[in-house]
Amino acid sequence: MRNQASETKKVPFFRKPAVQSIVASLICVLGGLLVGFIVLLLMAVFSKDIPVSEAFRGILIVLSGPIAAGNPKDVLFTCGNMLFTATPLIMTGLSVALAFKTGLFNIGAPGQYLMGAMGSLLVALSIPQGTMPAALIWILAFLAGTLLGVLWGAIPGFFKAKFNVNEVIVCILTNWIAANVVSWVFYANQEKFVNIAETKTNFIKKTISNGVSTATFGLDKLFANSYLDVSIVIVCVIAVLLYVMLNKTTFGYELRACGYNRNAAKYAGMNEKRNILLSMAIAGGLAGCGAALWCLNGQQDFKWNTYQSLPNVGFNGIPAALLASNNPIGVIFSAIFLRYIDTGGSYLPGETSFNEYVSQLIIAVIIYFAGFSKFIKDYLKKKQMKKETAATIAGDFVKNPERPIGQTASEQSAAPPPEAPAPAGPGSGEETAETASAADVPAEGKDGDGQ
């Protein structure tokens, strides 16, 4: 697609792959909202207690997100908290997206997140205040969280690379191992870390108690004393760096090549095992880093006895990544969007007979539709192709002599030219990438798990 673009110089706006991805995502979002609205309407119609008008009010509240808070000050406060809670979600979204790009399904983000939280809390609370500057403790804690995340992500990567064990199963197992290890570590050191100042002893001390907290640079004041701190900026920078790494560096190219076709990548001389391991390790690091940023805010409670449950923010990274078609920059927006809908939903119980789970339902439907985005994009393309082939059938043939007249780009990509090993040639590799970008979660285990 890119080759084509450079040849023809100017691609019509709606034919740009990026634009089509965004259009497809928007269609998914609209579809999700529509289904959500229909569910509310059905509920209202079939229930005697709920007037039909409440369905309209309900969907409007969900749509208005933090604006539903009412007066400007509350809206600002809610906005700030929405952005702050989006921070770890962006990180787990990036974690999942990066793994997807390498053809791996990182369902282990919850475990990596827990380990990251443990690492940062242990360091931030165990170095006594005053022995070194708080900023240094912050940096050490941040690194510790990230490092534990890296370690936890590397386990599935190692098992996949070394033993060819399906990464999904190892991720599931490591999630529960992490949940128990974290609980155990804090259980064994209760008197040091558990917050006994509050009546319940479910939570770890806030890091602010040791003077460690993320700098806010006035962001919290800007948003009416919300929790927002500079971590949202850090996260955006990380997303951009990840985008550059994936799309502009050799290493990123290798990772993506592994995602498109592992065997072809190996054939082209890439060390696919190393790439798998590194990809999972970085993905783990991203999730751990998200947890560290959340914990080091200073004001947050971390529930330590977590052996029976896994943090939702880890699993929600999956929809965040899928909605963004695994584009790191897109993850920022999709994660904030998810939090936006959630925030709107949280006002439902107070104002209507509905409840906050509507927003989860909408998100689920959006993701369901996101699976169709390849279908939608192909459809969009086909429609344009039809229009164009009628008008410029001759011109098109001159520009693309290889492509038989009437065949659409998607059909072409579905059956790649037999002479090129797919990812090695930038042309054909790129083409598959763009047409399948939303759905480029390569099927796990298609190359046979095991010999």
- Minimum Å gap between C-beta 28 and other proteins is 10
232 binds other proteins (CB under 8 A): no
Q: Which is nearer to other proteins, 4 or 353 (CB)?
A: 353
166 binds other proteins (CB under 8 A): yes
107 binds other proteins (CB under 8 A): yes
- Minimum Å gap between C-beta 348 and other proteins is 10
- From residue 187 to residue 226, the character string flagging contacts with other proteins as x (rule: CB under 8 A) and all else as - is xx--------------------------------------
Single-letter residue type at 247: N
- From residue 395 to residue 414, the character string flagging contacts with other proteins as x (rule: CB under 8 A) and all else as - is -------------------x
Place of tokens 């990182």: 106
The number of beta carbons lying within 10 Å of the beta carbon of residue 184 is 13
Q: In angstroms, rounded to a whole number, what is the distance separating the alpha carbons of residues 145 and 112? A: 9
Residue 63 near residue 317 (C-beta atoms within 8 A): no
Residue 181 near residue 300 (C-beta atoms within 8 A): no
Per CB under 8 A, the list member of 152, 159, 193, 253 interacting with other proteins is 159
368 binds other proteins (CB under 8 A): yes
Residue 189 near residue 180 (C-beta atoms within 8 A): no
Per CB under 8 A, the list member of 163, 192, 197, 405 interacting with other proteins is 163
The burial class, CB within 10 Å (0-12 / 13-18 / 19+), for 102 is buried
Q: In angstroms, rounded to a whole number, what is the distance separating the alpha carbons of residues 183 and 187? A: 6
176 binds other proteins (CB under 8 A): yes
The burial class, CB within 10 Å (0-12 / 13-18 / 19+), for 32 is buried
Per CB under 8 A, the list member of 37, 84, 105, 302 interacting with other proteins is 105
151 binds other proteins (CB under 8 A): no
What three-state secondary structure class fits 203? strand
* Sign of the four-CA dihedral 292, 296, 302, 305: positive
Q: Which is nearer to other proteins, 298 or 317 (CB)?
A: 317
Q: What is the DSSP string of 276-335?
A: HHHHHHHHHHHHHHHHHHHHTTSS--EE---TT---HHHHHHHHHHHHTTT-HHHHHHHH
Q: Which stretch binds other proteins (CB under 8 A): 7-15, 178-186, 249-257, 281-289?
A: 178-186
- Minimum Å gap between C-beta 186 and other proteins is 10
310 binds other proteins (CB under 8 A): yes
Q: Which is nearer to other proteins, 134 or 323 (CB)?
A: 323
322 binds other proteins (CB under 8 A): yes
Per CB under 8 A, the list member of 79, 170, 324, 341 interacting with other proteins is 170
161 binds other proteins (CB under 8 A): no
- Minimum Å gap between C-beta 272 and other proteins is 17
Per CB under 8 A, the list member of 75, 258, 313, 370 interacting with other proteins is 370
Residue 311 near residue 111 (C-beta atoms within 8 A): no
Cα–Cα distances in angstroms (integers) from residue 293 to residues 146, 231, 233, in the given order: 10, 6, 11
Residues in the chain: 451
Interface residues with other proteins (CB under 8 A) are 39, 43, 47, 105, 107, 159, 162-166, 168-170, 172-177, 180-181, 183-184, 187-188, 307-308, 310, 318-319, 322, 353-355, 357-358, 360-361, 363-365, 367-368, 370-372, 374-375, 414-415, 439, 441, 443-446, 448-451
